[in-house]
Structure 1
Amino acid sequence: MCDLMPAAQPAEKIGKMKKLRRTLSESFSRIAFKKEDSGFDEICVTKMSTRSCQGSDSLIKPLDTIPEDRKVQRTQSGFDPFEKPAGQVKRVHSENNACINAKSSSSGKESPKLRRHSSPSSPTSPKFGKADSYEKLEKLGEGSYATVYKGKSKVNGKLVALKVIRLQEEEGTPFTAIREASLLKGLKHTNIVLLHDIIHTKETLTLVFEYVHTDLCQYMDKHPGGLHPDNVRLFLFQLLRGLSYTHQRYILHRDLKPQNLLISDTGELKLADFGLARAKSVPSHTYSNEVVTLWYRPPDVLLGSTDYSTCLDMWGVGCIFVEMIQGVAAFPGMKDIQDQLERIFLVLGTPSEETWPGVHSLPHFKPDRFTVYSPKKLRQAWNKLGYVDHAEELASRFLQCFPKNRLSAQAALHHEYFSHLPPRLWELPDMSSIFTVPSIKLQPESGDSIQVCSKSKATSNSKH
């Protein structure tokens, strides 16, 4: 009996194998039947391409052309937890686009073999992500690690700004460039400069931005003595709008100054230069206090504080606001940090534990080093604040020595200073400019109106 057992075991296995083959054959028959019944003659697989397959009869039908009884049924909520929003889908550039044809039910013939799409353009045509897709026109400026050029895109013919960052083999890519690129990729707002493209070569990293023809510093230099009050209001509203957007995403700019606020020819203001920006997703006490150009650096940072949040940017907003109205920098320190703090305390008063809880614990606060000043009204330092309704009160809410007392960007947008603006401005989508509202436009600056008058007089004299 024991000798017969091994002979019976293979026969049983063979029977099971035959049964499994029949089951698999039936399953494939059902799959083939469903494929033929669906009416899909061809399946086209293409990477990042909307082009049709050359020489093909039909492609996968879009969802709205599939019969109702064959559409995939969603859950009652209509939410697919595994479906990414369109804005989060990473685009992959690839020339390996291919059509894979399945067996046609109508002809019964075998499908053509795998074949490539013909490229819509020649290999030498300009493409995004390529250095030769942009033409340098002129140098706009140069910094410690980057040079900025005005350029032109060969892809669409538009003007661009090319920020060319020099790479040192031993040092690698500057962390400021990596930070700026990574943050700007996720910021989509009309009051934040748009990052179009990134080009990486062995020698350089180039960030391609939308081109904006001037900045607030140049604009104020062109119109000295203070800007038109209505224009100040529109510039400040846009600055707060862009800053509120970034702060809601836990991002600090950390380098607010007029040079980093771009102004388009229509008056649109855009936050730029996020090289020092920092994402503050969780509380941290390790931030550097070597941020923000000296004139726009808040007293808490000047005194060595590294525990700061969005209030850091709001001090800079106050300094820029005063400068736009008065026509001169609010606190133009000429020597060092000590001089800068003295200028601040001269207007706002020398802080104490009563006015600024915790100030004595800051690393660089030495009471015996500072003259004791009492606070003044802001209009005593900058008289033009008194000529504009609610301007002095708003400026004082920004320029608070104690960081936690500073007004947030979101709250500032609803300050009385903006009460004369159309309500529609608060309803605009993120990517809509305030200048899409018909009644919103820049007013001629005082220098512009003088030039216009002189031109009109010259024209009238020439006629006579």
Structure 2
Amino acid sequence: MQKYEKLEKIGEAHRLDTHCEALVLIELDAGVQGTYGTVFKAKNRETQEIVALKRVRLDDDDEVRGGGGRDSVFTPSRPNLSFAIRNWRTVVRLREICLLKELKHKNIVRLHDVLHSDKKLTLVFEHCDQDLKKYFDSLNGEIDPDIVKSFMFQLLRGLEFCHSRNVLHRDLKPQNLLINKNGELKLADFGLARAFGIPVRCYSAEVVTLWYRPPDVLFGAKLYNTSIDMWSAGCIFAELANAGRPLFPGSDVDDQVKRIFKLLGTPTEDTWVGMTSLPDYKTFPLYQPTMTLAQVCPKLSSKGRDLLQRLLICNPSARMNAEDAMAHSYFADLSPSIRNV
């Protein structure tokens, strides 16, 4: 830790991703859901670079079965590492920390270093000035359409990189998108991510924060693919276009579904085959859209609304993927400095 000079504590809302280059064999402190520990702003004593330190406590009471013992805090990460740990939740957390170590991309927050001891783990990330939620809070209801386009393209580019490597983020929201002083947007906080082949089997209902959760997940889908992130990206796109006003701010699952169907229309088994067979499916009134996307996102261009409509499709198999979304005509006039990084 002498390499890094701690400067100040960063608020808990400023979350970072959780990939690392080694495998912890001790359970991490659960803390607040979606957060692995306290985050500090720090300076590298050697390079003077400002970084973010995410400090994670290791649970003394957890122990490893099948080798290593308590002194073996780390084992080099390997693609098919097999081991047994008493607490299954430990396995889940450790997998999430390690699975993204190979995702090095301009639009994914970068892990610089991993520092560890028997009781403490510190992940060293590149520092970003703010998250998208804080950026929204500074806008006062107005946003430059070119910034909307830039941020949306960068979000899609980060997703395309992940999806092409069979990694789903599964918890996209403004708080998990970081922005640096150069206007670069980066995907962060991969605490819920999975990279075990697509489609993924879901073992938890708490996938994706409610406002950004697609209808198939709201209805309890146990299998999903990259479309889960594309719905969330569509919700964030609308929020960008409206300078931070959420598109579907539901209070609970039923209210969330109702808001979606009232805007997009209630799907049927004809338009979404298999919907009525989902575990938590329930009948809703056959709502007909009472508002258009032009009314909901008045400052978004017609091409932007077309892209949004292709992302916000209730049937997951019909949702546009990230690669096709990046090729949409909405981005035809995107600045080369943003497109060609």
* TM-score (normalizing by structure 2): 0.81
Identify the residue that residue 247 of structure 1 maps to in structure 2: 163
User: Counterpart in 2 of 1:149?
Assistant: 40
CA distance in 1 between partners of 2:56 and 2:92 (Å): 10
2:288 matched residue in structure 1: 374
Cα shift at 1:366: 1.5
Tell me which of 167, 173, 197 is aligned to 1:257. Answer: 173
Pair 1:278-2:148 in alignment: no
For 1:269, the equivalent position in structure 2 comes to 185
**Residue in 2 that maps onto 1:330:** 247
Amino acid in the other structure paired with 2:334: L
2:263 counterpart letter in structure 1: V
Matched, 1:397 2:310: yes
2:206 to 290, 296, 303: 290
Question: What is the aligned counterpart of 1:227 among 137, 143, 147?
Answer: 143
| Residue among 401, 418, 442 paired with 2:331 | 418
State the shift of 1:284 in Å.
Answer: 4.2
Please list the CA deviations of residues 246-300 of structure 1 after superposition, one character each: whole Å capped at 9, or x if unmatched. 1000000011011111101110111111111110425443443321111111111
Q: RMSD of aligned C-alpha atoms?
A: 1.9
Q: Kindly indicate whether residue 55 of structure 2 is the aligned counterpart of residue 164 of structure 1.
A: yes
CA distance in 2, matches of 1:138, 1:409: 37
CA distance in 1: counterparts of 2:299 and 2:276, whole angstroms: 34
Q: Tell me the alpha carbon deviations over residues 169-214 of structure 1, each in whole angstroms, 9 at most, x when there is no partner.
A: 2246955652343233201111111100111222222111001111
Distance in 2, Cα, partners of 1:354 & 1:187:
39
- Conserved? CA contact 1:331–1:343, under 8 Å: yes
**SS across alignment from 1:315:** helix
How many angstroms apart in 1 are the aligned matches of 2:150 and 2:287? 34
1:345 pairs, out of 261, 265, 277, with 261
Separation (CA, whole Å) in 2 of partners of 1:393 and 1:204: 49
Corresponding residue for 2:299? 384
* Cα 1:226/1:257, change in 2 over 3 Å: farther
Partner of 2:100: helix, strand, or coil? helix
Aligned to 2:113, what secondary structure does the other structure show?
Answer: strand
Q: Residues of 2 paired with 1:274 and 1:160: CA distance?
A: 18
The worse-fitting range, judged by mean Cα deviation, of 237-246 and 137-146 is 137-146
* Shift of residue 333, structure 1, vs aligned partner: 1.0
Gap change, CA 1:282 and 1:331, over 3 Å in 2:
closer
Q: For the Cα contact (< 8 Å) 1:233–1:418, is it kept in 2?
A: yes
1:168 positional shift: 1.4
**CA-to-aligned-CA distance 1:206-230 (integer Å, 9 cap, x gap):** 1110011111111111003242100
Distance 1:268 1:424 in 2: 11
Structure 1 stretches lacking a partner, 5+ long: 1-130, 433-464
Aligned residue pairs: how many?
293
SS in 1 for 2:299: helix
Partners of 1:312 and 1:187 in 2: how far apart? Answer: 19
Using the alignment, how far apart are the partners of 2:190 and 2:200 within structure 1?
A: 19
Q: Is the contact between residue 250 and residue 259 of structure 2 (CA under 8 Å) also seen in structure 1?
A: yes
Structure 2 counterpart of 1:352, one-letter code: T
Q: Is the 8 A contact 1:251 1:279 kept in 2?
A: yes
Partner of 2:22: none
Superposition pairs for residues 112-123 of structure 1, below 5 Å? none
1:321 aligns with 2:237: yes
- Counterpart residue identity of residue 393, structure 1: D
Change in CA separation of 1:209 and 1:423 when aligned onto 2, cut-off 3 Å: closer
Structure 2 counterpart SS, 1:161 = strand
Which residue matches 1:81?
Answer: none
Higher helix share: 1
| Structure ID, larger Rg | 1
CA contact (8 A) 1:304 1:362 kept: yes
**Equivalent residue number for residue 21 of structure 2:** none
Amino acid at match of 2:54: K
DSSP-derived class of the 1:230 partner: helix
Shift of 1:372: 2.5
Out of 273-282 and 299-308, give the one that drifted further: 273-282
Contact 1:176 1:275 (8 Å CA) reproduced: no
- Cross-structure match for 1:135: 5
Quick check: 1:160–1:208 contact (8 Å CA) kept in 2?
A: yes
Residue 254 and residue 179 in structure 1: after superposition, are their counterparts in 2 closer, same or farther (change >3 A)? same
What is the alpha-carbon distance in structure 1 between the residues aligned to residue 249 and residue 275 of structure 2? 23
Partner of 1:457: none
Letter in 2 for 1:355: T
CA contact (8 A) 1:147 1:163 kept: yes
**Identical-residue share of aligned pairs (%):** 52
2:82 aligns with none
TM-score by length of 1: 0.60
Q: How far is the alpha carbon of 1:348 from its aligned partner?
A: 1.0
State how 1:16-55 maps to structure 2 within 5 Å: none
Q: Tell me whether 1:179 sits opposite 2:95 in the alignment.
A: yes
